[in-house]
Amino acid sequence: MNETASPIWIRGLPFGKERFFVMAGPCVLESEGLALRVASTLARICRDLDIPYIFKSSYDKANRTAIDSYRGPGMAEGLKILERVRTEVGVPIITDVHSVEETAPVARVADVLQIPAFLARQTDLVVAAAKTGKPINLKKAQFLAPWDMFQVVRKAQSAGNRKIFITERGTCFGYNTLVVDMRSVSLLSRSPYPLVFDATHSVQIPGGQGTASGGERRYVESLARAAVAAGADGVFMEVHEDPDRALCDGPNSVPLHEAFAVLSALKDLYETTRKHPFRLQDAPPSPVVKA
């Protein structure tokens, strides 16, 4: 992990450690119209704030709690929607891949391939995604210690890919509960790769509604602010026009009309904290932590 940090350039935009950036959109593709409206609004907000932006949404949520939960339009229809968003709105696209077979067709449309947290230890999937040559976003599994993510990074590196994002998204803590340890953000931010904080999945309550996951939206902004101050380079957020009616992860999604205020505050915080470098990060770690 001793490489020199450099930004990942995507469609002429730099995503790295020198400039705050955002990945955001509806959790799952519900309709073409919703995707275009959310993407257009977020793109305008990010242009106004001078924030590099990647539109995020999933064509298939393969890890829903219940068998009859809405999963999305599927890969074929979903990629058509994502391609239209990419073309008409003019923004990069990130979406999940769930199997080796999905990586090649998704790479023809998406600018960034995302490995879902539950699949972070699937070696074949990580390597196949990396072999596409596209930037990949490795989401930390809920059950992994932060330093174990460096082994996931090595799997991607083995395919010759150095265009890597690492995303912190909380850690399992008892039943139906996630916690965010800001020490994880500090540790992961010291890798040469951009660190993303998933502000909305981190407040998820997995399976908390019986047939679906719940969430505590009121903590999204607090955790995002803390993570940016602790060293996160960008944020990942699920954003929806009407979160209470969203078909997936509504309880932890950010209302679209609040996005400007939230992102403006996070950018200001990023710029302020980067003026004051960390002083104690070179102190010897605990023997159990292989940073």
CATH of the domain at 216: 3.20.20.70
pLDDT digits (tens, 9 = 90+) for 167-203: 999 999 988 889 999 999 999 999 999 999 999 999 9
Lowest-confidence range among 199-203, 208-212, 271-275, 280-284?
A: 208-212
Task: For residue 280, tell me if it sits in a domain.
Answer: no
On the question of pLDDT at 206 being above 60, the answer is: yes
Global pTM reads: 0.93
Q: Which domain holds residue 73?
A: 14-273
CB-count burial class (<10 Å; 0-12, 13-18, 19+) for 153:
buried
Measured distance CA(151)–CA(121) in Å, rounded? 9
Residue 237, strand partner residues? 24
Task: For residue 22, tell me if it sits in a domain.
Answer: yes
- The beta-strand segments (E) located in the chain are 8-10, 13-15, 21-25, 53-56, 93-96, 112-115, 136-139, 164-168, 171-172, 178-179, 195-198, 204-205, 214-215, 234-240, 254-255
In the block, which residue shows the tokens 């242009």?
47
Task: For residue 6, tell me if it sits in a domain.
Answer: no
Task: For residue 212, tell me if it sits in a domain.
Answer: yes
How many domains does the chain divide into? Answer: 1
Task: For residue 144, tell me if it sits in a domain.
Answer: yes
Task: For residue 289, tell me if it sits in a domain.
Answer: no
On the question of pLDDT at 4 being above 60, the answer is: no
Element (H, E) at 88: helix 75-89
Instruction: Quote the longest CA-to-CA distance of the chain.
Output: 52
Q: What percent of the chain has pLDDT over 70?
A: 92
Contact 221, 262 (CB under 8 A): yes
Task: For residue 1, tell me if it sits in a domain.
Answer: no
Task: For residue 87, tell me if it sits in a domain.
Answer: yes
For position 291, what pLDDT does the model report?
46
On the question of pLDDT at 287 being above 70, the answer is: no
288: Cα separation from own chain's centroid: 27
Lowest-confidence range among 55-69, 134-148, 181-195?
A: 55-69
Q: What is the mean pLDDT of the chain?
A: 92
